[in-house]
Structure 1
């Protein structure tokens, strides 16, 4: 099905014509004394007025009226106002306004098999009212079911978080990219219903309750290891710089044993979480 404009006329003009036809029929009926064939014309005029009035419809802003005549699709009226459409047509209202859909919290397994809870908000609007009316049973229900299906699909394609491979995409770190992928996936699913996806974004993301505690401990351990690595890398640089500066300026001659002892002392002093107490060598006492 494709949306096409329906034949229509100005509604105010249609009302005026209908009133004139009714008034003319009333005049002819009153002025006619006989009850025979002379009454056919007033009756026909009244039928014509009723047919015109049956086509009267009001279209609100950001709304469309889909018209069917005896089971046949005849077109769509998108322009707001009062219109006269084809008589005896059934007029179905379709909203063209932007709609927000908040999904339920879905429990799915991510790429690594960890159970997570995820929910998203989908912003959409109807772009083809004919498809929304005839190609699916209920386009709003269709959007809800397909949105939840798309969210489950995207959630299973990526890990909640990557602990070993920091360069890989994850649901937590790459929220903007995941939102774009989700919107594209939903658009391909909802195109059959004549719906345009404006935005799709994850609004809730968390580990499932049964693994949340273990994953929190894992995140904390990973953070501690990352911080330790930064400290050790910095300490190695400081120790190397100190030894090279002492050697270049000739402050003290260091053999391999003294260098090893100095490296050990400096590394302990820098890396240790607790404050270290310096030991001052004052030489031997005679």
Structure 2
């Protein structure tokens, strides 16, 4: 299999001077009545066809009658064989922002996902001749890579307790995996993946409401757990302080009632309403 071959083209300014000499010579011969000057016209036109300009971060792929001759990557004004077929390819970094697509995650939940891909052409031979249209190839293969990646991981870890990485929580690891997957797919087209990142991730509309309630319930349970842990510590501290300072002597029944009241006050989701006891502790 052929590989990219970098070549140097001849200076365009030198051949521009040659063209001017041909024009001057042709005009002189015509004024002298020499009909041989007419033969210079097709030669001059053919010579002019060989002029080309290569802009910064552009490449010029040269083909002679179906045979790849090389690529010019140096920018400037050049002259090449006028029989060459010249194709210009951009070497600049390009952005691809895919549209959100619906895929199923590892557990079969429908999700909407899209990515941003930063890429550039690294091998002009492969980009020109190994694929039909390298820009379309990038678009299709990026979507295929996203579908494969999304199906390999759950959306969130609470959906799969055995999963160490999920699409939502392990974003950095997922992005690195996405870059590797895309690079493996795009190497054959001579494309270098500079960066690939997920920029949109959500449940599909048909299950978004139910999953939102589930996430809210999970958050509430986690918050309640922290509240209970803190409340138990505060009750234990209060009882220890009361006993250490001999403020009040509580029998087991009153001690249990006090613990119950403190837990209700500390763990309740509403402000407690105080009740003033005008009798004794036992009435």
The bucket for the TM-score relative to the shorter chain is 0.7 to 0.9
Map of 1:198 onto structure 2: 194
Q: Does structure 1 residue 94 correspond to structure 2 residue 85?
A: no
Q: 1:283 aligns with which of 275, 280, 283?
A: 280
Contact 1:118/1:202, CA 8 A, preserved across alignment = yes
**Conservation of the 8 A alpha-carbon contact between 2:8 and 2:74:** no
Q: Secondary structure at the match of 1:68?
A: strand
- 1:178 is matched with 174
Query: Is structure 2 residue 132 aligned with structure 1 residue 122?
Result: no
Q: Which residue of 2 aligns with 1:257?
A: 253
**Residue of structure 1 in register with 2:221 after alignment:** 225
| Number of residue equivalences | 280
Residues 141-156 of structure 1 mapped to structure 2, 5 A cutoff: 141-156=136-151
Aligned to 2:57: 62
Q: Distance in 1 between matches of 2:42 and 2:281?
A: 127
Gaps of 5+ in 2: none
**Aligned mates of 1:54, 1:284 — CA distance in 2:** 109
Distance in 2, matches of 1:213 and 1:284, equals: 50
Give the drift of 1:224. 1.4
Give the 3-state SS of the residue equivalent to 2:118 in structure 1: strand
CA displacement at 1:251 relative to structure 2: 2.3
**RMSD, aligned α-carbons:** 2.7
Q: For residue 16 of structure 1, what is the aligned residue in structure 2?
A: 17
Contact 1:65 / 1:92 at 8 angstroms: preserved in 2?
yes
Deviations 1:37-84 (A, max 9, x none): xx5x984x6665455333211112221110000111111111222101
- Displacement of 1:175 after TM fit? 2.7
Normalised TM-score (structure 1): 0.87
Quote the Cα distance in structure 2 between the aligned partners of 1:162 and 1:252. Answer: 49
- Give ranges in structure 1 of 5+ residues lacking alignment: none
- CA–CA distance in structure 1, aligned partners of residues 19 and 70 of structure 2: 23
TM-score normalized with structure 2 length = 0.88
Is this contact kept in 2: 1:57–1:85, CA < 8 A?
A: yes
Match of 2:132 in 1: 137
Q: CA deviation at 1:181?
A: 2.1
> Is residue 162 from structure 1 mapped to residue 167 from structure 2 by the alignment?
no
Shift of 1:31: 5.5
CA distance in 2, matches of 1:28, 1:281: 130
